[in-house]
Structure 1
Amino acid sequence: FGSRNCDLTSSLVADTMQLSPWLSAARRLRSLHFVPGGVQKFFDKALASRADAIILDLEDSVNPADKTAARHAVRKWLETVDFGNKSVCVRINALDTDLWETDLAETLVGRRPDLYMVPKVSSPDDLARVDGVLKKLEHASMREVGSTGLLPIVTEVPQAPLQAHQIAKCARVEAVTWGAEDLSAELGAKRNRNSKGHYLDVFQLCRSLTLLAAKGANVQAIDTVYTNLRDLAGCQSEAEESAQTGFDGKLTIHPDQIDIANAAFTPSAVELAEARELLAAAETQDGAFRFKGQMVDKPHLRQAQRFLDRADGAGDAPLSSVALAAPAWPEGPHHGKWFDELVEGLIIPHALTRTVTETDNILFTTLSLNPAKLHLDYESAKTSHFGPCSSVTRCVRRPRCSKPAPANRTARGASSPLSIALSIRRDSSFAVPDATL
């Protein structure tokens, strides 16, 4: 944790953390997991998952009578939860309803969400309407105008697929996806897959048009959901086929599908090694050349580079989004939350990029008068009660940062500068002792 008013503490935190390479690359969207707005248990599972993005849904998964409550729940999540390095997307209601503008107005919170999914897009004019509303909201909230991305669904109405390329080129669009279920209803189709589970021709056409539109506009192509939740083998097969075709990620509706999508859209070690070998060989060649018995040219080199680009920043360790903040703060990246950003109930997942040393503990005790250790190193953690793990911090009282706690009070006291409760998640390589900071 750091504070703009506590230079020594902030320097300690800043010096011990590093920004993930993820943040220097394009937003990674291998798996985008739907969470019905307001359903806490599904949200908790998604937050603990390895999904690259969480889609907080205000549309199809929410009953009409529950729309307002769902919107309020989504806003609370956006205000109080640190999503780590997950991208956060909100699916608004369709533009032919009277709900979508309120969806935008009530869920544009601070630096979240990163994206809005726009359903049932029929033409570029629809996204122009959304862009106009977002500009006003961003300006009013002092958020950088144009910083909120869009993820349109470009096949849910019959007039949209043939305009998919124009839609994908619209302002703010970072990715496009498609859907078969709403289109089935619009067409009056009895089904969208054949007896072998493959899409019927018109739906496969829409899928292909989505891919071509995305690549033509240089944005990410996201494949639609696999609706048979029990058929994980079928989900894996479809995800792998999507990746081979050129899609960048897949929508998921069950936690078991998330790791399948991540694996499918992450190049294998063999593919990466061959890509590096090919690019290295190309440095000494002019034009087309022979590589492992095959003729290769510029398209093969672009594909090899794409494999490497996909692999950049593929780690799953959570990173606080506040590391992107505070443009006025000087040298070095920062991890965690500023004191003035902490609110009661805020949940902050985090993982250290280096082990805290005894020197760090001494400095922390000197600054805070709290004798509890910050973290155990990995070897010590293996012998502890908890074992190796990472931590999730919950703010139980808004901290103050004015002066150190009195010598006769620890950080557990009601008057302490810090009152942060720690809970434990047994899935990583660091341990936190049974104490509060």
Structure 2
Amino acid sequence: MTAFPMGPALLFCPADRADRFAKAAERADAVILDLEDAVAFEDKEQARKNLAASALDPERTIVRVNPVGSPSFRADLEALAVTGYRYVMAAKAEDPKAIAHSLRKFQVVALLETALGVVRAPEIAQAENVAALMWGAEDLLASLGGESSRRADGSYRSVAVAARSAVLLAAGAFGKGAIDSIYGNIADTAGLEEEARDGAASGFAAKACIHPGQVGSVRAAYAPSEAEKDYAREVLAAAKGQGGVFSFRGEMIDGPLLRQAEQTLRRAGILA
């Protein structure tokens, strides 16, 4: 898992709802103030005024702006300029050069939610000001002419799984954080926790939430169990003095497994 300074639970908050800003920031590990899809066009100007007047912790705040080059993008930047926020989520990111130039003053979470954005994930990850990649399932399927990213049982369709993996791999290849997509079924906390647990185990640094009630499930999924922490401590202790591969509880342990154990303790806050 590549480090990202916020998470594991990132909570979207519509920027036209200033009354929710403080509550969202209190509930989650970081808040994403949304100027894009969560705000109707006629409400975007008020959303920008709300953003400009806000004073959340810049170290725990991300602002999702409209796509680079869109008619609303310049106005978003003007509103951002009077704030202390320096983390920006670039919606529907596709062009690494545009991200590097237009958002050069910011740390960028590139939201890859179109077919072109996903296939360009490695290029986008290499932009110097990109701190993390996130993928978006439903916009991606819409860009392909599809109807839903999930099957009736809630599992992802194959193309969504491929996109999720491609974004994670690109982020990891170039040392950037990876953020997992939202889970749209708010009532299905068990499904959310299962998906978040898989994301944590796969290497995602955080997961985006669309409702405050999802935060606890994501945090629980990202927090290693006592058994997992105990195993990690014990296998790392057993490794001391070993010259290479060794046996531990009937399992052959080598370098990759030791790094996984270290990551477990990092997620638990035990290792830096």
Which of 288, 291, 295 is the matching residue for 2:252?
A: 295
Counterpart Cα distance in 1 of 2:97 and 2:185? 34
1:244 shift after superposition: 2.2
1:104 shift after superposition: 2.1
1:246: which partner in 2? 203
Letter in 2 for 1:204: V
1:86 shift after superposition: 5.8
2:146: which partner in 1? 189
Counterpart Cα distance in 2 of 1:152 and 1:87? 17
1:254 shift after superposition: 0.4
1:243 shift after superposition: 1.6
CA deviation profile, 1:141-198 (whole Å, cap 9, x unmatched): xxxxxxx3110012x2221212212211211222211001111221111221112111
Segments of 5+ residues of structure 2 without an aligned counterpart are: none
Preserved contact between residue 31 and residue 251 of structure 1 (Cα < 8 Å): yes
Counterpart Cα distance in 1 of 2:103 and 2:26? 32
1:106 shift after superposition: 1.8
Counterpart Cα distance in 1 of 2:53 and 2:127? 30
Which of 78, 98, 108 is the matching residue for 1:105?
A: 78
1:130: which partner in 2? 102
Residues 298, 67 of structure 1: CA spacing in aligned structure 2 closer, same or farther, 3 A cutoff? Answer: same
CA deviation profile, 1:76-112 (whole Å, cap 9, x unmatched): 113xx4x3x96100000112412213312321445x3
Letter in 1 for 2:60: S
Which of 100, 104, 120 is the matching residue for 2:92?
A: 120
Residues 277, 264 of structure 1: CA spacing in aligned structure 2 closer, same or farther, 3 A cutoff? Answer: same
1:229 shift after superposition: 1.4
Which of 29, 54, 61 is the matching residue for 2:38?
A: 61
1:151 aligns with 2:124: no
1:276: which partner in 2? 233
Counterpart Cα distance in 1 of 2:4 and 2:209? 20
Counterpart Cα distance in 1 of 2:141 and 2:20? 27
Residues 129, 89 of structure 1: CA spacing in aligned structure 2 closer, same or farther, 3 A cutoff? Answer: same
Q: Secondary structure at the match of 2:115?
A: coil
1:210-229 matches, cutoff 5 A: 210-229=167-186
Residues 105, 313 of structure 1: CA spacing in aligned structure 2 closer, same or farther, 3 A cutoff? Answer: farther
Identity of aligned residues (%): 38
1:94: which partner in 2? 67
Q: Secondary structure at the match of 2:160?
A: helix
Q: TM-score, normalised by structure 2?
A: 0.92
1:76 aligns with 2:76: no
Residues 26, 203 of structure 1: CA spacing in aligned structure 2 closer, same or farther, 3 A cutoff? Answer: closer
Preserved contact between residue 197 and residue 221 of structure 2 (Cα < 8 Å): yes
Letter in 2 for 1:29: G
Aligned length: 269
Counterpart Cα distance in 2 of 1:269 and 1:114? 36
Which of 246, 256, 262 is the matching residue for 2:219?
A: 262
Preserved contact between residue 124 and residue 170 of structure 1 (Cα < 8 Å): yes
Counterpart Cα distance in 2 of 1:238 and 1:116? 25
Counterpart Cα distance in 1 of 2:141 and 2:45? 28
Preserved contact between residue 100 and residue 129 of structure 2 (Cα < 8 Å): no
1:310: which partner in 2? 267
Mark the structure with the bigger radius of gyration. Answer: 1
Counterpart Cα distance in 2 of 1:108 and 1:238? 36
Counterpart Cα distance in 1 of 2:190 and 2:200? 15
Counterpart Cα distance in 2 of 1:167 and 1:231? 33
Aligned residues: CA RMSD: 2.0
Q: Secondary structure at the match of 1:159?
A: helix
Segments of 5+ residues of structure 1 without an aligned counterpart are: 1-24, 135-147, 315-437
Residues 313, 35 of structure 1: CA spacing in aligned structure 2 closer, same or farther, 3 A cutoff? Answer: farther
Structure with more of its chain in helix, by fraction: 2
Q: Secondary structure at the match of 2:11?
A: strand
Counterpart Cα distance in 1 of 2:73 and 2:234? 49
